[in-house]
Chain A
Amino acid sequence: MKDRLRVVHYLNQFFGQIGGEDKAGMTPVDKPGHVGPGMALAAALGTGAEIVGTVICGDTYFGENIDRATGEVVELISKYQPDLVIAGPAFNAGRYGTACGAVCAAVAERLGVPVVSGMYPENPGVDMFRSKVYIVETGDSAVGMRQAIPKMAALALKLAAGEKLSPAADGYISRGIRENYFADTTGAARAVEMLVKKLKGEAFTTEYPMPKFDRVEPNPAIENMATATIALVTSGGIVPKGNPDHIESSSASKFGRYSLEGVDVLTAETHQTAHGGYDPVYANQNPNRVLPVDVMRDLEREGVIGKLHNTFYTTVGNGTSVANAKKYAAAIANELIEAKVQGVVLTST
């Protein structure tokens, strides 16, 4: 038996101290020892484990090349012959959460070592990977780092030791696994007990939480595109130059509606992005790269579509809560219905 567990830590370019969105396209690299939040993680893991290496990859590179990046990262991780791999925490960062989940799932499958990540429950990486990966529930931003690290370290050590775990006791997001156990009373008695508590207005814990399925049936196709009014909506943060309504670069508190009356093409002089979650250089140079007004106008002129709706809607989908995104989109949809819009092209970055 080895005296110390060999741990490899996965980080994005930001927490890996390489750079911000301008470095998000970087391919994976590895560094011996711990980096950034790895220091606190090493302290929390204690003397029984050592972070022998850190693998760092740009979020955009990972998001755009999930399969290739996963392979490259796992390759770098495997060099260190780890006993344990820890990724993140990624909080509510969607690309980072997806990367952490994909790396953990691939490490577990290909290297057969225990893996732990940490994310905010609304991170899309949770729904994608929670059945395969232990994901500790964290806050929605790096403010929650101090709380997240000890929970992740404790869970990782228990996993490595092969101890029994449960979502409630160990603070990870349920993996949806049901386990049989011997109860003291029959199901009927337990159900009546719960019912009595419910009738008294007391708290009770269900033994089988119903999964939340929120799927919406697709609407019928547009039959005659040549007469249809199509609207452009984006979560990519395209706004008129100067961002007149001050839509926030992350956790947007509002959406914007802006006129396209007489606008044939978006330019660097007329529009920009307000989004803080991707490198804004390309969108600022040519905002049509996110909101394709130029092409839609051409298609309108040529009669391919009936009309481009003369208002576009926009917000910043960066750390924005699901509840807010739903609220904005419901309000946008109401206005679109009122304006008799028949189809929506929604672009995301």
Chain B
Amino acid sequence: MVKEIERAGIPVVHMCTVVPISLTVGANRIVPTVAIPHPLGNPALPPAEEKTLRRSLVERALAALSTPVEGQQVFDK
């Protein structure tokens, strides 16, 4: 899906937990996430901290969309 959206001309960032799969399917901008059943959250954290975690991941995704890349890049920090 990531690839078809990219092909259509829109920059796309893939937020996912199993990064090797994302690399194999051909996503270009990749942000690793927390866990398969809760990529953008952590039920072990209090709600406010969990939202802060989610925000930091989304900010990283937006930073990835704002970063020129050549080929595949994993934004892991």
Interface residues of A (CB under 8 A from B): 21, 24, 60, 63-64, 66, 94-95, 98, 124, 127-128, 214-223, 225, 230, 233, 235-236, 278-283, 285-286, 288-292, 294-296, 298-299, 304-305, 315, 317, 325-326, 328-330, 332-334, 336-337, 341-349
Interface residues of B (CB under 8 A from A): 1-18, 20-22, 24-26, 28-29, 33, 35-41, 43, 50-51, 54-55, 57-59, 61-62, 65-71
Please give 19 more A-B residue pairs, beta carbons under 8 A apart, in addition to A128-B21, A221-B65, A329-B5: A21-B37, A63-B18, A63-B36, A94-B21, A128-B20, A223-B66, A289-B38, A289-B40, A290-B39, A292-B54, A304-B59, A341-B10, A343-B12, A344-B11, A344-B12, A344-B13, A346-B15, A347-B33, A349-B17
Residue on A nearest B4 in the bound complex, by CB:
A329
Question: Are A289 and B12 in contact (CB-based, < 8 A)?
Answer: no
CA–CA, A325 and B56, complex, Å: 29
> Whole-angstrom distance from the CB of B4 to the nearest CB of chain A?
3
CA–CA, A23 and B8, complex, Å: 39
Between-chain CB contacts (< 8 Å), 26 pairs: A64-B36, A216-B7, A218-B69, A219-B10, A221-B65, A225-B65, A225-B66, A280-B37, A286-B41, A288-B40, A290-B39, A292-B58, A294-B51, A295-B40, A296-B58, A299-B55, A299-B59, A329-B1, A330-B4, A330-B8, A333-B10, A334-B8, A336-B8, A343-B62, A346-B2, A346-B12
State the total of A-B contacts with C-beta under 8 angstroms. 199
Question: Are B39 and A219 in contact (CB-based, < 8 A)?
Answer: no
Question: Are A290 and B9 in contact (CB-based, < 8 A)?
Answer: no
CA–CA, A221 and B38, complex, Å: 27
Question: Are A64 and B62 in contact (CB-based, < 8 A)?
Answer: no
Pick the contact of B37: A214, A233, A349 (CB < 8 A): A349
7 nearest interchain CB pairs?
A289-B41, A333-B8, A329-B4, A218-B28, A329-B1, A348-B16, A282-B38
Pick the contact of A219: B11, B26, B38 (CB < 8 A): B11
CA–CA, A341 and B36, complex, Å: 27
CA–CA, A280 and B17, complex, Å: 16
CA–CA, A333 and B51, complex, Å: 29
Pick the contact of B35: A60, A217, A295, A336 (CB < 8 A): A60
